């Protein structure tokens, strides 16, 4: 009995260290709704970040796949980037800059590109995105985590 516990512990540590090594290679990004129920007119299916991790000084693309139940004539996109939970950057765009409007009923991809300054610190970031229609009605609000790094192995 006594010898089993340490063995289990070292196995756990071994598995934990493997998952730490694998994390930087996983591409799937979890998208969370700001309101946990996700009761928004626009549903978000996922986000594709390229390159991942984002490289400072190089253009990054955030492709958000979503679907809408009604035609969206236009509106705006509000983006807030946080570093270690502290908001560091906010920007507002016309919706038509990121996707051609009007958006028809069904699936669509909103493509947001931005270039982060070369001196942007490496680490874990959160991007929060709000989409409003032309009458300032909230269509959706999501957030997801992304990393800024040199593209080499980074744990943070
Ligand atoms: C993002 O979407 C744009 C426009 O639909 C497309 O041209 C581009 O290839 C996409 N990029 C990625 C990484 O999916």
Count of domains observed in the chain? 1
Instruction: Read off the pTM.
Output: 0.77
pLDDT digits 0-9 by tens, 89-143: 999 999 999 999 999 999 999 999 988 888 888 889 999 999 999 999 999 999 9
108 lines ligand 1 (CB under 6 A): no
Residue 28 has pLDDT above 50, yes or no: yes
Q: What is the CATH number of the domain that holds 133?
A: 2.60.40.770
Residue 155 has pLDDT above 60, yes or no: no
59 lines ligand 1 (CB under 6 A): no
Q: How confident is the model at residue 38 (pLDDT cuts 50, 70, 90)?
A: confident
Position 113 in a domain: yes
The Å distance, Cα 36 to ligand 1 centre, comes to: 28
Contacts of 27 by beta carbon, 8 Å cutoff, 6+ apart: 49, 52
* Chain centre distance of CA 95: 18
Measured in degrees and rounded to the nearest 5, phi and psi for residue 57 equal 85, -10
111 lines ligand 1 (CB under 6 A): yes
Q: How confident is the model at residue 145 (pLDDT cuts 50, 70, 90)?
A: very high
Residue 154 has pLDDT above 50, yes or no: no
Atom 4 (ligand 1): residue with closest C-alpha? 111
The Å distance, Cα 118 to ligand 1 centre, comes to: 23
pLDDT of residue 153: 46
Position 17 in a domain: no
Residue 26 has pLDDT above 90, yes or no: no
pLDDT digits 0-9 by tens, 43-99: 999 999 999 999 988 999 999 999 999 999 999 999 999 998 899 999 999 999 999
Position 14 in a domain: no
Domain with 52, as residue range(s), is 28-148
pLDDT of residue 120: 85
Position 10 in a domain: no
Residue tagged 């004539």 (tokens): 73
- Are the C-beta atoms of 138 and 95 separated by less than 8 Å? no
Measured in degrees and rounded to the nearest 5, phi and psi for residue 14 equal -65, -45
Mutation probe of ligand 1 site: the residue of 51, 63, 96, 97 with most atoms within 8 A of C-beta: 63
Q: Which of 5-14, 26-35, 103-112 has the lowest mean pLDDT?
A: 5-14
Position 131 in a domain: yes
């Amino acid at each position: 009995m006594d010898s089993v516990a340490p063995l289990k512990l070292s196995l756990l540590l071994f598995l934990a260290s493997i998952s730490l090594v694998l994390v930087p290679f996983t591409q799937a990004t979890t998208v969370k709704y700001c309101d946990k129920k996700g009761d928004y007119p626009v549903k978000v299916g996922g986000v594709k970040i390229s390159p991942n991790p984002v490289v400072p000084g190089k253009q990054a693309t955030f492709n958000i796949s979503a679907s809408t139940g009604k035609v969206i004539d236009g509106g705006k996109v509000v983006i807030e980037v946080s570093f270690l939970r502290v908001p560091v950057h906010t920007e507002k765009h016309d919706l038509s800059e990121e996707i051609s409007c009007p958006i028809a009923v069904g699936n669509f991809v909103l493509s947001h590109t931005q270039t982060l300054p070369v001196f942007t610190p490496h680490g874990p970031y959160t991007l929060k995105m709000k989409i409003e229609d032309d009458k300032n009605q909230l269509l959706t609000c999501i957030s997801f985590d992304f990393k800024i790094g040199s593209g080499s192995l980074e744990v943070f």
